[in-house]
């Protein structure tokens, strides 16, 4: 039995557990803060950083924006590391997000944990 379920934003088919969390994290990170009516604080600052030159300071800002948004909006995952795997002049930013998946985290139960990671493409070639 799945711990959490939802619907795919692409295919409108049911999805559950880690697949659902990946979709949730992508939605959080790709949504600019302030863009959702009735939930202005939802999202992350990542969309504002996609076109920035990837200096050390801006790479740190990318990691910070991702970790903060995930910590605020997705209780089933805790980011422990991030890595920019691509940043180009077309405005494409690829981010590897590494952390711990808690299947029952949305229920406040952090007793079951497993390592997990995902890759996100922001900007340019989405």
pLDDT tens digits, residue range 71-87? 999 999 999 999 988 87
Domain count, the chain: 1
Give the structural domain span for 95.
5-123
Closest CA to 78 of 116, 108, 43, 26: 116
What does the block give as tokens for 27?
A: 């939605």
Pairwise CA distance, residues 17 & 41, whole Å: 25
Angle, CA 50 vertex, CA 48 and CA 53 arms, to 5°: 105
pLDDT tens digits, residue range 100-111? 999 999 999 999
The DSSP code for 31 is: S
| Domain at 69, CATH number | 3.10.450.40
What does the block give as tokens for 106?
A: 């949305």
Tell me the whole-structure pTM to 2 decimals. Answer: 0.89
């Amino acid at each position: 039995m799945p711990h959490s379920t939802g619907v795919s934003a692409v295919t409108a088919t049911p999805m559950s557990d880690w697949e659902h969390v990946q979709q949730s994290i992508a939605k959080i990170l790709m949504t600019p803060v302030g863009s959702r009516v009735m939930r202005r604080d939802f999202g992350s600052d990542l969309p504002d950083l996609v076109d920035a030159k990837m200096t050390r300071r801006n790479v740190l800002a990318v990691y910070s924006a991702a970790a903060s948004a995930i910590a605020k909006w997705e209780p089933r995952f805790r980011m422990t590391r991030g890595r920019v795997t691509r940043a180009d002049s077309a405005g494409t930013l690829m981010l590897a997000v590494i952390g711990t998946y808690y299947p029952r985290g949305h229920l406040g139960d952090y007793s079951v944990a497993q390592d997990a990671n995902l890759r996100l493409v922001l900007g340019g070639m989405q």
